[in-house]
Each structure stands twice: as structure tokens, then as C-alpha cells.
Structure 1
Amino acid sequence: MSNSIFQHKQTAHCESGVISNLLGHQGLQISEPMAFGIGAGIFFGHLPFVKVNGVPGTTYRIWPGAIFQRVCKRLGVKMESEKFSTPEKGMLALDKAVAAGIPVGLQSSVYYLPYFPPSYRFHFNAHNLVVYGKQENQYLVSDPVMDTVTTIDPESLSQARFAKGFPAPKGKMYYPVHVPAKVSLEKPIQEGIAQACHFMLKVPLPMFGVKGIRFLAKRVANYATNPGDRKATLYLGNIIRMQEEIGTGGAGFRFLYAAFLQEASVVLKNDQLSKLAGELTQTGDLWRNFAFAAGRVCKSRSASDVSYKELSEMLMTCAASEEAFFRKLAQVKF
């Protein structure tokens, strides 16, 4: 274990940010985009049967924890990971690790983190942060989406770690126990790219990948039957919230993956990846335009200059753009 002072780096997304910061502390410098790409973090899913705060869930990234597992496996990092039956056991284990000078990754609910502005505090249970010390009964927190380190009181942290709902964090804590001194990134990059292409293009279920974007587009078109209906506004609002407010958001994940491809093009000496990075950035812009237009529809709550049909068409354009991109990426020769 490294005994050096923990270096906080602000990142775009919590899970890939925690990976970058924890591994960096152990001497393995890996950027956030590289962690996101090797972990094949880019994804899409619309889950009408999984309700988040009572409305269907939409995700623009792979499920929580998967990036971490994939990065560790591909880079040969061994992690200690635990969940707990009671808050008392969870906080005791955290205190023990922190007393030993080990920075610890935690899964938490955003709702109970008092350092977030009130407007950002809602019931989202898959937020990752690092606790790297304790001072005068306050835990020292490196939350990768914040620009600087902060503190949290034991009661709030315990509530955040043991929040009810889906997914229940159950006090999950994790930290590296073996980090190789040197790693080769070529094979992990190639495996990460192949896996991302598979998940975006070949998952047979209609709710996932490029098919999932089209699936959502059709559902949004159906919202038009009652455009002033509170349920339509609520559902549309949640799509935007999942895209723009939780962690990095949909467009942000596209920009993050584009940054990964830029880095990968240098490591693999492959100009094609750099060109594709530019194309994905344009797709990110399409998602941003959709969120902006959808936000206007939500705010007006009545007739708007943008219709649900037009929003559906914008999503179909996003789907076509992503399909073209991933088909080209899947054909890159290494």
C-alpha cells in the first residue's frame, strides 16, 4: 500500500474517476477516459420495467460496478470489495481501513451527501466517492465530480452508504490490494473496444444498445398522445435528468469515450481511432441538442415549438449516428 498523500483529481464521471484516482494513488497512472474505455463504459439502455423514483430508468453507460471489474481484470489489479449487513459493521470496517492509511472507494446515495447542492440531491444509489482519512470525527472525502476535497459527518455518510432502494449500496467499500508496477495498455484497449461494440450492436434484447435508443424514440413518440399529461412530462424529465445530471450524462459519456479514442490512437499508433473520436463528438452534440429541446417541452407543460414527434425523430437521428459509428469502430484493424 502507498503511504503518500492522496491526490484528488476532478473527473467527469464518478466510477471511472474513482478508478483513476485510486490506481494513481498506488502508482498506476491511468486517465479517466482510459479507464472508461478499457472498462467499455459506453452503453445505452431504456428499462420501462425498472423504475427509478417511480419512472422508467434510462442509462447511457454500462451498469454500476462493471467498469471497475473490467479495468481490474484487464490490468491485473486485485481489489478487496465488501458489503455489510448493518451500518455499524460497515462504518467499523471503513474506520479500520482509514486508520491503516488506505483510501477507500464507497458506493453511496447522492441524496444523503450534504456537500452536493440541494437541487442535485435525489435518490440515486450508485454514486462512487473516495474516503481517504478522518479528522475530528469528520471523514475526508475525495468525490471525483467535485473540484476540491471536502468532508462529511459520520451520520450522513452512513445514511448514504446504507440507503434503501435500487440498487441498494449495502455499505459497499473497495480498495486495491495488488496493483502491478507496470502495465501494457494495447490489449486492454482492444478488448475494451471490442466489448463496447458488442454491447452497442449485438445484444439481442430491444431495450439495449443502438436498438434501445430506437426503442426509446418510439416510446417518446407515444408520449404525444397526452402531451400536457403529467406522466409524459415526468417520463421525459427523467430521460433528461439521467442524461444531463447524473454523473456525466449521456452526451458527456460520448465525449468521454471520444477522449479515450484519442488516447488509444496514440497508444496503438492508429489514426483511424482519432478520426472516429471526432465523429463521436458530433454524436454527443446530437444528444445535447435533444436534451435542450426536451427540456423546453418539459418546462412549457403545454404546446411547445418542439413536439414529442420531433423529439422522437431526434432520438432516431442519435441512434443512426451511433450505429454508423460503432459499425466503423468494430471494423478497425489492430
Structure 2
Amino acid sequence: MSHIIQGFVPYEGEHCETTAMGNLLQFAGIRLSEPMLFGLGEGLGFIYWDSKNMDFPFIGGRVKTDRLSARIASRLNLTHRVQETSSIEKARKNVQSCLEHGIPVGLKLDSYYLDYFTNKVHFAGHYAVIYGMDEEYAYMADTRQQGGRLKTRLDRLAMARNAKGPMSSRNLSFTIEYVGDLPPLKPAVRSALSQNAHDFLNPPIQNAGHKGILKMSKEILKWPSRSKNFEHDLCLTALLMERGGTGGALFRNLYRDFLNESAELLEDSKIKQACLMFERIAPMWTAISSLIDDAGKTGSFHNLEQASRLLLEIADQERTAMELLL
């Protein structure tokens, strides 16, 4: 039984969750840039995540998974309908039922299992949209990096949806629908800016927000003793920071572009000032990932010391920029 939404046009994006929401919104007739979606979702964050059961620390530059989509929908006054189930069969039926009604569905997946992912790393916080299925394949819309419109076998999709581990959910799927009119964009943007700044400046734990960047500055010097496979761990960390669906510079490029759009929309000099700061901050993050990559390839401790000093500067700059946005 084949259910494929005809004429589905993929939304072009760099980051998986904003691209998934972009696909659902575009299908509903709402077209916003990816930086605008990232900003409305209060997407900018920082986490230095390390625990005993992890091979190596995880560095994240955005808010927790699932939160971005929910906030975008809330800011745009849309219903964000989420379904979770531990049953693989019920999960399939949830999606099939939407496709039968011509509604594309957002999915949360472990990208490792998807046929079209060539870089086989377990990451259970990946988002994509399904717009059709037949007896054998699921027809997917994913990021520009993956190729836009793609297909994967249904059994592989089931495994990707049902995966366990960090950031995973129980076969999570989501759709959006109109509640009423879209709210005016200006107040939505202003509110998203100040809320994101507040959350970044007041992290609930010491390894998040600007405090987390300070923590990373200390912890990075301990990495040689923390790692069992130095080259692999550092080169993978650098790759994820710069190219792992972040839009570059650990999401700072996306946020810089959002601030640029916001400054023009709101004609606000403080936002413009913060934007200029992020224009300087973004290349610093790219330099950090490059130093980490070089340290992995050469085993040089000097590169980590350099990265540590640069992180102190970034923490100070980002705190100042976010204070302008409060």
C-alpha cells in the first residue's frame, strides 16, 4: 500500500531539527529562513556533557533536543502534536495514518541506521521528515548535506526510530497544524531573543551556557588523559562541532544570521551590536574545532592550550553579546 505526498518540495537547510520544522512549515504554506527558525526556537546554547559512561565528552551548541521544535510552534501559534510509543507497529501506524491524510511527519531517529547516511556514527537526536512510504521504502526529506529528498528501507527506518541511548525518544513523531492566524513576527522575535539570552546567561548547571564554555576551557587541558583513542576522539569532536549539522561554528553562524535578520526587522542598534559580536565569535569557534582536529592528528598539547585560551575569550564575548539581547 503506497502513500506518497505528490509534489512535496524539500526545504533546504543545514541543521536537522530546523530543516525538519522548515519542511513541515513550508508544506503548510509558512516560509521562514532557517536562521529565523533557529532563533524563534531559542536555539543557541552550550553544553559540555561528560559522564562516567561516556567514552569522551560531548560538546553541544544548541538547546536540548525536542525543545527547538516545540518553541518554534509555540512562537508561531501552531499546534505541535507529538506522539511517542514503545510499540514499533503502533509507531508505523501513527505515521501511516498521517500520510494517508496527506500530512508529512517529523521523526526523531538514530542516523546510524538510515541507508543514506554514509558517516556511520550513532546519533539518536537526528530529525528528518517522512512524506511517503510504499511496501519497501520510506521517502524522506533531510538536510542539504544529506541530499534533500532521499529514501531508506522501512526496516532500517524502524530501527532508527526505535534506537536507545543518549538523546533518543520512544519512536517520536510530530506534526504541526494551524490553530488560528500566525502572530506578528516582530514581537515573536523580540521575545525569543530575550528569552534565549536569559536562559544562556542563567544556566541551570555549571557546564551549560557561558559557564559551560569556561568549564570546557579547563577540561580541554585534561583531554590527553581523558581519551583512550586520542586521534579518533578529537577529530570526531572537531567534525561534529563544525560540520555535524550545526551550520558551521557550533551553530554560531546560524545565530549570527538570525541576529542580522532581527536587527533589520526590529531596527534595533543593540541587536546589530550583538550581531557584529557574533560575526567575530563565529570564526573563533571554527578556529577551536580546527585546533582540536590538529591536536588529534599531531598529538600536540600546545594546540589544546591555545584552544583553552580562546575559549576564555569566547565565554566573555558571548556573555556580553547575550546581555545586549536581554
- Please tell me the residue identity of whatever aligns with 1:141: M
Partner of 2:78: 77
Is 1:196 the equivalent of 2:196?
yes
The CA distance in 1 between the partners of 2:30 and 2:153, in whole Å, is: 30
TM-superposed deviation, 1:213: 0.3
Describe the SS at the equivalent of 1:230: coil
CA RMSD for the aligned pairs? 2.3
Given the superposition, is the C-alpha separation of residues 312 and 298 from structure 1 closer, same or farther in structure 2, using an over 3 Å criterion?
same
Which 5+ residue runs of structure 1 have no aligned equivalent? none
The CA distance in 1 between the partners of 2:112 and 2:175, in whole Å, is: 24
Partner of 1:17: 19
Partner of 2:275: 277
Partner of 1:230: 228
Partner of 2:153: 153
Describe the SS at the equivalent of 2:214: helix
Note if contact 1:60-1:250 (Cα within 8 Å) is conserved in structure 2: no
- Please tell me the residue identity of whatever aligns with 2:168: A
Q: Percent identity?
A: 26
TM-superposed deviation, 1:49: 2.4
- Please tell me the residue identity of whatever aligns with 2:149: V
Using the TM superposition, name which of 289-298 and 146-155 deviates more. 146-155
The CA distance in 1 between the partners of 2:168 and 2:52, in whole Å, is: 14
Partner of 2:123: 124
Superposition map of 1:33-182 within 5 A = 33-49=35-51, 54-117=55-118, 120-135=119-134, 137-145=136-144, 146-178=146-178, 180-182=180-182
Using the TM superposition, name which of 176-185 and 39-48 deviates more. 176-185
Given the superposition, is the C-alpha separation of residues 48 and 136 from structure 1 closer, same or farther in structure 2, using an over 3 Å criterion?
closer
Given the superposition, is the C-alpha separation of residues 168 and 58 from structure 1 closer, same or farther in structure 2, using an over 3 Å criterion?
same
Which 5+ residue runs of structure 2 have no aligned equivalent? none
Tell me the TM-score normalized by structure 2.
0.90
Given the superposition, is the C-alpha separation of residues 28 and 205 from structure 1 closer, same or farther in structure 2, using an over 3 Å criterion?
same
Is 1:296 the equivalent of 2:294?
yes
Note if contact 1:129-1:141 (Cα within 8 Å) is conserved in structure 2: yes
Describe the SS at the equivalent of 2:61: strand
- Please tell me the residue identity of whatever aligns with 1:324: T
- Please tell me the residue identity of whatever aligns with 1:247: G
Using the TM superposition, name which of 15-24 and 99-108 deviates more. 15-24
Given the superposition, is the C-alpha separation of residues 221 and 291 from structure 1 closer, same or farther in structure 2, using an over 3 Å criterion?
same
Given the superposition, is the C-alpha separation of residues 305 and 219 from structure 1 closer, same or farther in structure 2, using an over 3 Å criterion?
closer
Given the superposition, is the C-alpha separation of residues 147 and 271 from structure 1 closer, same or farther in structure 2, using an over 3 Å criterion?
farther
Q: When the two structures are aligned, how many residues end up with a matched partner?
A: 321
Given the superposition, is the C-alpha separation of residues 51 and 143 from structure 1 closer, same or farther in structure 2, using an over 3 Å criterion?
farther
Describe the SS at the equivalent of 1:55: coil
- Please tell me the residue identity of whatever aligns with 2:316: A
Q: Deviations over 1:90-141 (max 9, x none)?
A: 1122122212211000000010111112xx2211101010001124531111
The CA distance in 1 between the partners of 2:154 and 2:94, in whole Å, is: 13
The CA distance in 2 between the partners of 1:272 and 1:198, in whole Å, is: 16
Partner of 1:313: 309
Q: Deviations over 1:272-296 (max 9, x none)?
A: 4234223202101001011111101
Partner of 2:10: 8
Note if contact 2:77-2:182 (Cα within 8 Å) is conserved in structure 1: no
Q: Deviations over 1:215-271 (max 9, x none)?
A: 0110112335x49x6365565445424412432166141110111111112221224
Tell me the TM-score normalized by structure 1.
0.88
Given the superposition, is the C-alpha separation of residues 252 and 219 from structure 1 closer, same or farther in structure 2, using an over 3 Å criterion?
closer
